[in-house]
A and B are shown apart, each in its own frame.
Chain A
């Protein structure tokens, strides 16, 4: 394991003996000459939420897109359950039990909830035709658990509210027995009630033993939900800290100044207020 940056802070103890679900080692991605992700290593354990934070352009979404298969890494290594894997596209990622809820939700607006939930993994009858009835039944089952008031199963998702669309995207990620969940700004477009629902869901999935990467620019969100927090700045990993061992100010210091909690001078700490 190669998360030496955590040395400054006490690592999360209870998960330490177990094998990580995901290890990303020395991941690099560049666009043109720009190093969007520059040698970043992070890991994720079962039943753990790792918050990935950083300002705009810090590279957190780009890093996570290498894991979800949306944009493969230029170099670096990804291990799932200790086995090195190659992820070229979203299909590869799904095959390893990695599901992603994108910030944009990645829904086909013209299709209904069931068609979106099963997009790329359609249920079919013996003749190979789409089994829309079975897909709708499964969709009703999974979405009504997430959002009991969801009723519009036959309309294009375009005509749904933001919260309902989010429900569809989340249902798609959790329906297929994901072990690793990537949530990119899952509450950015939601009202308070819906945000609370998503938070409950994260807690529940965590209890079920999933590993969750939570990407957010909202430090409060991350502090409430994450067990560990990895901070990125300008494509590099500032460090990974145990949430219980740091204050919000210290994490802000990492986000803004790129300095680990111990390295923060009192003067710099003043500036954060």
Chain B
């Protein structure tokens, strides 16, 4: 409907005008005025189908508070890196080294907190400075590695595929060399919170506070967007559409928090918690102490929000998309394309470091295999999430959903006791199938 007649200036018929509170004339126009990304909506639909199918196939073990809570934690690491991979692929590049960089930085951070800081630098175990120092060093190293890749790609002109293929081997090898192939353990107690687990969740009250803050933020964002458009005299979305989006958004937040609060500590952990907090253990039955949202999930959501902001509201993000859409136009527009590419790789490196911190905290160790093959999950998540290899198209929330889809498949198959090789067959097939469907739909729509 958006293709005007060839050679004339006849305008396409636009959807019913959206003014005031009057709903659009037809249902189609009404839905269009919601202004929601239909691709994203389709992915949510696909996710729901996957969950329901697994729920039935596993005899009701998939959609449970416990499984969904674990799913959220398992998704975090890939989701964090996938948000950066979106920008890399959007700018027509690729980063094959993310798994190895994550391994190198992760093992480095493990060594730092398990050996170097406590022993060599004499901070001792459980020093409050361990967490900030380890994180700061990890993020810096990640940024430098990414920036180095970006420099080779943007300023020297080596294709990103080659640079990061080399990086995949180099950083994996150096990761191994760093700890002589040993697993470095244990991690600092505070640091371990980053990985989830018993102490790695915020608890019931904080979870509800987060839910409240998130709902208020959703409402404020919608209101602000309306006010902005009014300010310059544009027609705003109809009020009912904004209201529907707001209610749906808040509902998702509240349900997610309710699920997180419906997963209770197992009895031995609950007893320890009760002891620590002077809660009397009941004579009969058990105490139900909710986990709440896990820290890695909070980190992943925080990363996704920041990355969405960078991708859509900052000049850097706009330039990444412009380069992906038309590199020549970006250059002629006066954009410093080289610096933009370099920065996108540096950002990817930072995200690898964040993911590495979460993963070593979760494992309570830095094994030499850390992050092996992660690049494949990360690229798959971004691509399932609608990122196009042709460049210029992709969204951060889509990549997070893509990570959730991939992890749901894996987790569901584990619950169904599917053999590991068959899991790979399924995951690979789904990846290709999803992109094929997406490609066909996209071709029809243009």
Contacts and interface: CB of A to CB of B under 8 A. Distances in A.
B122 interface: no
A120 B337 CA distance: 10
Contacts, number: 106
Contacts of B335: 119-120
Interface residues of B, number: 38
Contacts of A129: 309, 313-314
A167 to B, nearest CB: 10
A101 to B, nearest CB: 11
B213 to A, nearest CB: 20
A185 interface: no
A137 interface: yes
Interface stretch (A34-42, A48-56, A73-81, A155-163): A155-163
B315 interface: yes
A149 B321 contact: no
A242 to B, nearest CB: 32
A109 interface: yes
B318 interface: yes
Interface in B387-410: 392-393
A111 B322 contact: yes
B332 A102 contact: yes
B11 A124 contact: no
A129 B324 CA distance: 20
B446 A158 contact: yes
B229 interface: yes
B280 interface: no
B393 A159 contact: no
B325 A108 contact: yes
Dominant SS among interface residues on chain B: loop
Nearest to A132: B313
Interface in A131-152: 132-134, 136-137, 147, 149, 151-152
Highest count of chain A CB atoms <10 Å: which of B6, B318, B321, B330: B318
Interface stretch (A18-26, A87-95, A257-265): A87-95
B318 A122 contact: yes
A119 B315 contact: no
Given A100-B332, A108-B322, A155 B2 contact: yes
Interface residues of A, number: 44
Nearest to B327: A108
A120 B334 contact: yes
Nearest to B328: A106
Interface in A114-133: 115-116, 119-122, 124, 128-130, 132-133
A239 B322 CA distance: 40
A193 B9 CA distance: 8
Contact of A193 (B6, B8, B334): B8
Given A110-B392, A155-B2, 13 more contacts: A90-B333, A104-B328, A107-B326, A108-B322, A119-B334, A120-B334, A128-B314, A129-B309, A130-B315, A133-B229, A149-B11, A152-B2, A163-B9
Interface of A: 68, 70, 89-91, 94, 100, 102, 104-111, 115-116, 119-122, 124, 128-130, 132-134, 136-137, 147, 149, 151-152, 155, 158-159, 161, 163-164, 191, 193-194
20 contacts: A70-B332, A104-B328, A106-B328, A106-B329, A108-B322, A108-B326, A110-B321, A110-B325, A110-B393, A119-B330, A119-B335, A128-B314, A133-B232, A158-B446, A159-B446, A161-B4, A163-B9, A164-B4, A193-B9, A194-B9
